Amino acid sequence: MAGDREDQGGLGDLVNYALAFLRRQYVLILFVTMLAIGISLIYLRVTPPIYTAQVKVLFESPKAKFVQQQSMLAESPLDVAQLESQIQVIKSKAITTSVVDQFNLVKDPDFNASVQPLQKLLGIFKGLFGASAAKDDGKTASEARDGVIAAFQDKLVTSRVGMSNVIEISYSSSNPQRAAEIANAVADTYIADQLNAKFEANRTARSWLQDRLRELGQQALTAERAVNAFKIQNNIVAAGGQLMDEQQVTDLNGRLVAARAQASDTLARLNRFQAILHQNESNKTDANLDASISDALSSPIINNLRQQYLELSRRESDWSARFGRNHLAVVNLRTRMHDLRTSILEEVRRLSETAKSDYEVAKQRQQEIEKQLTQAVSQSRTTNSAEATMRELETRAKSYRSLYESFLQRYMGAVQQESFPITEARVISPASPPQSKSKPKSTLVLGLGFLGGLALGTGLALLRDMLDRVFRTGAQVEAMLHMPCISLVPLLKDIEPKQLRSEQEHTDRASSQGMIERHSGVYWAATEMPLSRFAESIRSIKLAIDLNVTNSSNKVIGITSSLPNEGKSTIAAALAQLMAHAGTRVIVVDCDLRNPSLSRNLAPAANAGIVDVISGRCTLDQAICKDPKTNLAFLPATKKQPLFHTSEILSATSTKQLFDHLRATYDYIIVDLPPLAPVVDVRATAPLMDCLVLAIEWGRTKTDVVQHALHTAPGLHPALIGAVLNKTDMQAIRRYDNYHSDYYSNEHFARYGYTA
């Protein structure tokens, strides 16, 4: 059971709903889809084909490195901004105008078709403002040319191919040959425009460079002559690009730095040795020997003695703990340790004397170099003022000479580029006449038409399904009205069985004798076709009435509906005659006093009815009509004049007394009640009814109408045993009740002799 409850809200429900939806609305979906495909085919038929030719242009720097260096224009690598700029240049008015004039596109039919309506509109406006004819003709021609250029730019598409330096130029035309010719012409015109632009730039730059070179050459020559004259005048000699005095000062300065470093190192070593000796002389004990003798003294003799001293110190500590400090062996170890300490200090004194001697020698060398440097500096000071002036003259001369050489290289590059200009763009894939049209794409248009039609059809079907606010299935009745659906009564046409034809003549003559007439075969289908599904659905109603446990007595059975023409009278007549055919005493009472449709069909010639019985104008036996075949009794409602107080009549004491008499006389009283929505008579009869059956017309009665009708009559709810879906299309209901679609198949009922 738990698994069933889970499946109710799972994927199975969604699939079943989708299948049921397709069964209900597939005709609309197919119609809209086929309509969209038809519109797509018409569009493909009437739309002229458009062919697009494509040419690819590569942007690179084809110049050799030497040529780039000689070029007077700055060469920078291509980037996204430059490529976008070139795309705009290709679509510029200068390029497009040249191509339009080259092919005389002003007279091309493809452009005239779009320009002529614009010209007519402009002519109308010009006429309104009273412009002269000559002036209008000239302005119109200019505007027509501008219109052609604008239309040409719309058909011309340029785009970058991926992340490469390739630009694709596309042009669309109704003629594939013309499309390829114009695309290639645009590429050629653009490349020629680039060459012309570079040629003009190079020629202008060459003329300016030529004048500038003459001026720079004269300035460089004058500056070099001034440098030579100043050297001769001040007796300045240079070796290796540097003055002799400066070279000597530099060498002495390097030697002085090295001497000072050596003296400093020697003094530091001497100070270290003296500090060790002073520390050990002030401390006569052997406690701090390790701290005073540092490993930084890189002497193998000291290191060897120190290792022996450390070994004896370890043994002395160990033996003192084992044998005592005054033991002879421990005393001998301490004696040996003292001797080793003395030897280490003697070696340190020897190293200290050596360091002292080295420090004296380094100090004397430093002093000698300082004297030489002082003399060299004093000698070079005399030439400082002349040297500064000479440096200034040399710098000026070099600047002029460097500028001259740079401009000379630029001039040579300009001459070369002017003689053979090179552009960065070249065609790598020329356009050829396209073999297939680019627009409209048949597959795309048909695909969009199919998908669009399918989507639109599905949307319209969903909208139609949501707006279908009528009762279609028994489950819908139970969910929305909170009452059981006790039967699905099939739709019957107005039939007249063969058996009724022979009896019709007799009933016509006997109508005045209180006999029920059989004009309509629908009212008698339950007994005339006992093996039909209609008869079986009426039996379901009788069984629901008999099994009703809310009331011990189910004799008085009211049949009502929300609106007229829902078939409540047919159900009342069929239920009553089916009960009477089974041998029970049954009477049908027509309480629809304002519109007695059942009386018009079963007893159209009746002179007395229920109103006459209630008012006492006639007896019950005088008003009752009977069917001799089924022994069915019928109390009609004759409408001799309009009745305005039918609810008071039905709620009167005499009416209750009539029904009490009928309860004592008959086994079942089937009451055909008026509908709930138009009148309030059903509410007045509520105390008389043991149970009520609500008839709902399948596929027509709105759900909100039934809900509102029941909401306005709360006194009827205890007596309502269920609803009946009347006039049900048993073939169409299979599209709405997907869960029980097999239940409505006739082949299952045919085994038991049932017919449609």
Same domain for 381 and 528: no
Same domain for 79 and 194: yes
Same domain for 127 and 38: no
Same domain for 309 and 280: yes
Same domain for 652 and 530: yes
Same domain for 456 and 602: no
Nearest-Å Rg of the Cα atoms of the chain is 62
Structure confidence by residue, pLDDT tens digits, 453-506: 899 988 988 887 777 788 888 888 998 999 999 999 988 875 554 444 444 444
Measured CA to CA, the distance from residue 479 to residue 197 in angstroms comes to 83
Amino acid at 297: L
pLDDT in the model for residue 625: 92
Measured CA to CA, the distance from residue 509 to residue 511 in angstroms comes to 6
Amino acid at 53: A
Same domain for 288 and 301: yes
pLDDT in the model for residue 66: 42
pLDDT in the model for residue 235: 60
Structure confidence by residue, pLDDT tens digits, 313-322: 888 888 888 8
The mean pLDDT value for 661-665 works out to 92
Residue 43 has pLDDT above 80, yes or no: yes
pLDDT in the model for residue 61: 60
Which range among 258-262, 324-328, 639-643, 669-673 shows the weakest confidence by mean pLDDT?
639-643
Q: How many C-beta neighbours within 10 Å does residue 220 have?
A: 20
pLDDT in the model for residue 46: 84
Per the domain annotation, does 481 fall within a domain?
Answer: no
Q: Which of 178, 113, 197, 188 is nearest to 148 (CA)?
A: 113
| Domains of the chain: total | 4
Per the domain annotation, does 209 fall within a domain?
Answer: no
Taking the model in full, what pTM does it have? 0.52
Long-range contacts of 456-464 (CB under 8 A, 24+ apart): 456/32, 456/36, 457/28, 457/29, 457/30, 457/31, 457/32, 457/33, 457/36, 458/29, 460/28, 460/32, 461/21, 461/24, 461/25, 461/28, 461/29, 462/21, 462/25, 464/25, 464/28
pLDDT in the model for residue 154: 85
Per the domain annotation, does 715 fall within a domain?
Answer: yes
Per the domain annotation, does 502 fall within a domain?
Answer: no
Q: Which of 381, 401, 429 is the last residue of a domain?
A: 429
Measured CA to CA, the distance from residue 597 to residue 739 in angstroms comes to 37
CATH number (domain holding residue 196): 3.30.1890
Same domain for 264 and 282: yes
Residue 589 in contact with residue 569, Cβ under 8 Å?
no
Structure confidence by residue, pLDDT tens digits, 716-753: 888 999 999 999 888 777 777 655 555 655 556 556 65
Same domain for 589 and 690: yes
pLDDT in the model for residue 296: 42
Per the domain annotation, does 416 fall within a domain?
Answer: no
Per the domain annotation, does 408 fall within a domain?
Answer: no
Per the domain annotation, does 98 fall within a domain?
Answer: yes
Q: Tell me the average pLDDT of the chain.
A: 78
pLDDT in the model for residue 18: 78
* H-run or E-run covering 92: none
Q: How many C-beta neighbours within 10 Å does residue 157 have?
A: 15
Same domain for 99 and 26: no
Q: Which residue range(s) make up the domain with 18?
A: 2-47+440-467
Same domain for 328 and 447: no
Same domain for 340 and 262: yes
Structure confidence by residue, pLDDT tens digits, 596-609: 989 888 888 888 89
The mean pLDDT value for 179-189 works out to 88
Q: Residue 50: left (phi > 0), alpha (psi -120 to 50), or beta?
A: beta
Residue 369 has pLDDT above 70, yes or no: yes
pLDDT in the model for residue 694: 95
CATH number (domain holding residue 711): 3.40.50.300
Residue 130 has pLDDT above 60, yes or no: no
Q: Which of 503, 492, 500 is nearest to 698 (CA)?
A: 492
C-alpha distances in Å from residue 457, one per residue of 448, 461, 512, 578: 13, 6, 59, 46
Q: Which of 129, 122, 158, 157 is nearest to 143 (CA)?
A: 122
Secondary structure (DSSP) of 679-692: -SHHHHTGGG-SEE
Per the domain annotation, does 674 fall within a domain?
Answer: yes
Dihedrals phi, psi of 589, to nearest 5 degrees: -115, 120
Q: Which of 649, 638, 639, 452 is nearest to 34 (CA)?
A: 452
